[in-house]
Chain A
Amino acid sequence: MIVFYKFLFPLVLLSSNLIDNDKKELVLELHINNKNITLNNSYENINTNIFKINKLKFYISNLKFYLKDKEVLEYHKKHILIDIENEKSLKILIPNSLRVDEIIFNLGVDTETNKSGAKSGDLDPVNGMYWTWNSGYINFKLEGVYKGFNEFSYHIGGFMKPHNTLQLIKLNLGSKNKIVLNFDEFFNKIDFNLSEILSPGKNAVKLSTLLANSIN
């Protein structure tokens, strides 16, 4: 026992420290006009619509890292809830030595998870990303105002065919230690007159495709 405390235990501590030091941060940046989105900031799209964003939350799942078309790491957490208001959620830790040039992930929660009962952590319904009146996760939640005080709410979700909104995203990272998700195309093409999408259906699928095209 003494041997354990005197020699092995410090070694264990040291090695766990080493593991922590051995990680690097990949920062997720959510962009409009090549800059991080700021909540409640006024933006203008190509149709001269002025809008502000006050909520942006979404799930990414099955995150995989690639180098030269070969998978080098599958992220340990299957689902990550990204919340622009939670800085911690925008940081993804990977091994320092890992070289990566591409990532692939799903935007949203997969069908199996949508159908398999109560979950905790990022998938806890208290996060406000679950429809209790029509079982299923909200994959993507965006709220804000346009043309002054007109509100828009997009709660995009739905996993049942033909209204599956899960989208595959592939991004080239280059050598930078950041992942940039670009929302320019989404806000340029969105029709704010359709200001509320709050349930699964055709419109939700349309918006999820628009999102995927913008980010990809």
Chain B
Amino acid sequence: MKKYTTIILTLIVVIALVHLYKIKNLTNLNYPKYFPNIEYDLSKNPIDEDKIELGKILFYDPILSKNNQVSCASCHSSYNAFAHTDHKLSHGINDKIGNRNAPGLFNLLWQKEFMWDGAVNHLDMQALAPINSPIEMGESTRNLISKLQKTNYYPELFYSAFGDSIITTEHLLKSLSQFQLTLISSNSKYDSVIKREAKFSDKEKRGYELFKNNCNSCHTEPMFTNYEYKKNGIKEDSTLKDFGRYNITGNVNDKYLFKVPSLRNLKYSYPYMHDGRFEKLQFVINHYSEIDIDNNLIHLNNKEKVDLTAFLLTLNDKEFSLNKNHKFPLKLIEILYQ
């Protein structure tokens, strides 16, 4: 009898420990225990399959732009962790060029402010910025709602999702948020190491130590950003004249401050920085080891740079970039080609 009790107790302890590091289940939103508390208030927009599906269809549908040619996915490709690989600046309707590099979209549950300068303060409101921007999608909210209402499929999809076939801005934005909230990237090699399912190579281990000593204060684990605004050492560009955070706060101390981006999925999200000026990771590392930002210079020799790069590459989440649930929805193909 005593033997069985011991076995059962041991089993309970093992299961509890596994659970501690495994996944927290929140309908469709699975993330590891070591991720911080989420920022998005799900009580105001409870997760639901139909809303996620509607949000995905909207995300991929170019109807969101004035000339029906540009969708969210035009600049946020699922294969590239929802960034715009190979494009320094994003492209809008009628071949217009934007003034910032399209960032990857993932782990948005934890993000409080959006855009490189934090111009948008809630995920729900984020979509309206590119939709209304004349150099991005160029569409007015009112006209978009009326276009959606006139289709023979969206009223039904909104009805399934929200129980109302009258389309509203609130429902449009909340469904777009829901799809984007499902974009959780937590299956990199780094994550496997934290979950004790894999081990770093010696090179990666040395890179991890360098990372912790030099980068972690801004690109803080496990999200690899502290979500703050910092100087990146890039001088004002004479054509873009981008003052970063200052544009939003009007505070001179915020000049040339930009949001610290996550370092997850760097393999897919090149080119780097707010204006996409660096095509290779190596250029970014060289930049930070050459530029003195407020008396902070990162001293790295060539071997150390190689080690650091090896660690940074463990943050790529291949599973995320290939996740079929995030790809172009078949339903939209039916809709567009019916």
Contacts and interface: CB of A to CB of B under 8 A. Distances in A.
Contact of A133 (B119, B168, B174, B250): B119
Nearest to B122: A117
A163 B123 CA distance: 23
Contacts of B173: 117-118
A135 B125 contact: yes
A134 B41 CA distance: 20
Contacts, number: 68
Contacts of A133: 119, 129, 132-133
A114 B121 contact: yes
Nearest to A158: B250
A118 B174 contact: yes
Nearest to B117: A134
A115 interface: yes
A120 interface: yes
A119 B168 CA distance: 9
Nearest to B175: A118
Interface residues of B, number: 28
Interface stretch (A10-18, A74-82, A124-132): A124-132
Given A118-B125, A119-B170, 20 more contacts: A115-B122, A116-B41, A116-B122, A117-B45, A117-B123, A118-B124, A118-B169, A118-B177, A120-B168, A124-B168, A124-B169, A125-B125, A126-B142, A126-B169, A132-B120, A133-B129, A134-B120, A134-B248, A135-B119, A200-B250
A163 B120 CA distance: 17
Q: What range describes how many residues of A lie at the interface?
A: 20 to 34
B132 A115 contact: no
Contacts of A201: 250
A117 B170 CA distance: 9
A58 B248 CA distance: 23
A160 interface: yes
A111 B140 CA distance: 25
A132 B128 CA distance: 6
Interface in B120-167: 120-125, 128-129, 131-133, 141-142, 145
B302 to A, nearest CB: 43
B39 to A, nearest CB: 11
A79 to B, nearest CB: 14
Q: Which 9 A-B pairs have the closest CB atoms?
A: A117-B124, A132-B128, A118-B124, A118-B173, A135-B121, A120-B170, A118-B170, A117-B122, A132-B132
Nearest to B250: A201
Contacts of B41: 116-117
Given A114-B121, A126-B142, A133-B133, A163 B168 contact: no
B250 A163 contact: yes
Nearest to B114: A135
B241 interface: no
B249 interface: yes
A126 B124 contact: no
Nearest to B133: A133
Nearest to B112: A115
